[in-house]
Structure 1
């Protein structure tokens, strides 16, 4: 007998000896008088055995049948190999309509060797930072480099925007690697759909933070920082990954859930993946997003002066020469204008380069027509530490007009190394 049943037996014995009333027994056991009467009747009929639960040793009414467990196991082995218990349980319930608990799936996968339980680790305690109150008040951004499309697909980076107040995914975008133009494209899509947030929270990647003291020029902003300053969006840089733990944990979840969803749908390219991301974001937010403390949305609409096509470009200033020309990106640009030449000599212009390579030249905010008059020989591009893998995967080739190729161009003189130079030429 259990301790509970032994206690009931002692009280029933007191009732039998008239040392306790049924009302007092109900108060001591924490049950109703009617239940005490049922126990007393069973005790009178069968003695102590009548107080033992009749369900002991019998299978539960909610226990799954062996064929149902086998069906779940077959589905996990055939379709959800490598899935975690929680995600596999969601697929079994939502896709295959099986009534099974996530804990039962976990036990089943452990018994079959499909899942190894994680040993509980002693977590390091960090100072807690409370969530922001409003949606759009702070957005954590980061890039996650991973084999998103499996071992056979291209390795790429997923740009992740997570709202700090709700944990909601605000923007996802597959790009070859973390770059200025990649973040600009993700920011443009996000702002056009939601509006401008108050602040971005990022790491100290060179896109967001000037890490070399000699690189500080002017106001000390990176190109992305300059663009966000024009849009009145503050850039905050975390000193540790734990400080922006919300987006870091989202990256871990996405590397599990999103990669499995791409595998199930047989998606193997960046373009197909970006098409699927809005559907995945809606499902993710439905499962994991929380309600903010305040119902106010801090996103701001774009103002009439916010020209995203101009702001989200790589910009640099140049000074026009006496011939109204300047050099940029190994090319010489000649300004075409109807003004007298002396009127724009030594003028400061802004060169804006778009993601597709198109160049826009601005003078006091107005575009200037130009013509490319000369192109310099191609040189190796300087890349960052996070994009070096992408650069190595795509080896560069010298341009057709590169000086190294000149001896091998059609019509170039040939050199016969086997000719006998000592023989006199016939006259």
Structure 2
């Protein structure tokens, strides 16, 4: 339109030699000298003088058509379900194609491919545009193709201010998802509210105490003791007694007791928006992590947990706020032995007539610090303690602690018939000291000290 206007004004001046050049300069927004220059060009080249020299030429920064088709094909076949920002990173990392997220967005949206994390405003605008194109579609196949590319977007959580200090609050949650094709695992997460840094992550087949213990262990060994955990109301943390006449009576759990031993506050809420940072992190990892697992060839849960160690470091470097900008309130890291004893699972068992106890479908005998078996009468109540590293102990009458040794179903070799039979050497097992945090009396004191407690003797 600018070229046409210039042509008409200059042609009028050329046809009328007495025309007002100052008025023409005002109309075109240029100087009188430039008007004279355009008059000379028109007389020499005619209308072609006003055609811009770059018309019909592609800019030097134009992405080749072959690259555009490759980007579309890669997203549809290999990197499907990735958000566009992550997709641009994957293209640079694995395909050596460097394009910006906005460029990726324009290329894919031209084919009506929307990001899984598309905003509501863009979704509404594109939906309206697609509906108009659908009405003018000439064939039903074309209309169906347009309709199939409308992607729904989940609602975002409301914002809340971050905590002031690093380690002040750790938001914890577990999210079930099909992280690899055909396998649904629960990813247990802990994220620091101040910096957005992932402080612990662990895959498990269900949302369990074991999964949260592994996350807790990662926090303790990497950073130290946090000030507070904020979780949802899962039975792992706290729950209401089913037949309790009062809704205020809580049954306190082993995770809560472990927090009490380390001086960590534990708060919970049934409202997802209250811990929006970890909820939003769940969505982010559900978008990015399955693709990373697929590209790394991960097929087992053990390999996935090992992969998390390197991936979380890479994720924090990219997205977490720098730690040095905020004060850390993590307490000194406890010793490995203390962590191992505190993150334990407690169960009650009864001594049978064979002076042994049954645990996880196996029989165990009690061994003292000298490697000798200890005998208790049938019906004696003992507390079994499964430490974080898997070692088994038991506590009797809150006074004695013994190691548990599994009783095999069959002897490996016969003393009478095997010539190479050797009597097994007696090993002195490690026996924890009596200041361990597992005694029932200490646990009862912890329960009694809570604002609302019940008289249930069962340890959750």
Distance in 2, Cα, partners of 1:156 & 1:299: 30
Structure 1 residues 230, 260: closer, same or farther in 2, change over 3 A?
same
SS at the partner of 2:239? coil
> Do the aligned residues in 1 keep the contact of 2:202 with 2:215 (CA within 8 Å)?
yes
SS at the partner of 1:266? coil
> Do the aligned residues in 2 keep the contact of 1:318 with 1:351 (CA within 8 Å)?
yes
Distance in 2, Cα, partners of 1:150 & 1:313: 33
Match of 2:298 in 1: 267
After the TM superposition, which residues 244-323 of structure 1 pair with which residues of structure 2 at under 5 Å, given as runs? 244-291=275-322, 294-303=325-334, 307-315=338-346
SS at the partner of 1:73? helix
Distance in 1, Cα, partners of 2:101 & 2:293: 22
Match of 1:368 in 2: 402
User: Which of 183, 188, 198 lines up with 2:217 in the alignment?
Assistant: 188
> Do the aligned residues in 2 keep the contact of 1:133 with 1:165 (CA within 8 Å)?
yes
SS at the partner of 1:242? helix
SS at the partner of 2:238? coil
> Do the aligned residues in 2 keep the contact of 1:133 with 1:294 (CA within 8 Å)?
no
1:42 aligns with 2:34: yes
Distance in 1, Cα, partners of 2:383 & 2:115: 58
Match of 1:177 in 2: 206
Distance in 2, Cα, partners of 1:74 & 1:144: 31
Structure 1 residues 311, 43: closer, same or farther in 2, change over 3 A?
same
Match of 2:386 in 1: 353
SS at the partner of 2:120? coil
Cα deviations across residues 40-98 of structure 1 (Å, max 9, x unaligned)?
64344227999997657753332112233233334334432443322222122233332
SS at the partner of 1:229? helix
Shift of 1:212: 2.8
Distance in 2, Cα, partners of 1:70 & 1:101: 16
1:147 aligns with 2:178: yes
Shift of 1:329: 8.0
TM-score, normalisation: structure 2: 0.61
Match of 1:107 in 2: 106
Shift of 1:116: 6.5
Shift of 1:132: 0.8
Distance in 2, Cα, partners of 1:356 & 1:308: 10
Match of 2:83 in 1: 84
Shift of 1:328: 7.9
Match of 2:120 in 1: 120
> Do the aligned residues in 2 keep the contact of 1:168 with 1:289 (CA within 8 Å)?
yes
1:162 aligns with 2:161: no
User: Which segments of 5 or more consecutive residues in structure 1 lack a partner in the other structure?
Assistant: 21-35, 374-427
Shift of 1:271: 1.2
Structure 1 residues 130, 254: closer, same or farther in 2, change over 3 A?
same
Shift of 1:200: 1.1
Shift of 1:296: 1.5
Distance in 2, Cα, partners of 1:326 & 1:14: 111
Distance in 2, Cα, partners of 1:350 & 1:112: 64
Shift of 1:202: 0.8
Distance in 1, Cα, partners of 2:68 & 2:155: 39
> Do the aligned residues in 2 keep the contact of 1:136 with 1:197 (CA within 8 Å)?
yes
Cα deviations across residues 183-202 of structure 1 (Å, max 9, x unaligned)?
11221123112211111111
Structure 1 residues 107, 358: closer, same or farther in 2, change over 3 A?
same
Structure 1 residues 16, 279: closer, same or farther in 2, change over 3 A?
same
Structure 1 residues 42, 168: closer, same or farther in 2, change over 3 A?
farther
SS at the partner of 2:172? strand
User: Which of 238, 246, 250 lines up with 2:269 in the alignment?
Assistant: 238
SS at the partner of 1:272? helix
TM-score, normalisation: structure 1: 0.65
SS at the partner of 2:190? strand
SS at the partner of 2:333? coil
Shift of 1:126: 7.1
> Do the aligned residues in 1 keep the contact of 2:82 with 2:115 (CA within 8 Å)?
no
User: Which segments of 5 or more consecutive residues in structure 2 lack a partner in the other structure?
Assistant: 10-18, 125-153, 408-460
Distance in 2, Cα, partners of 1:334 & 1:258: 45
Aligned residues: 344
SS at the partner of 1:132? coil
Distance in 1, Cα, partners of 2:311 & 2:261: 32
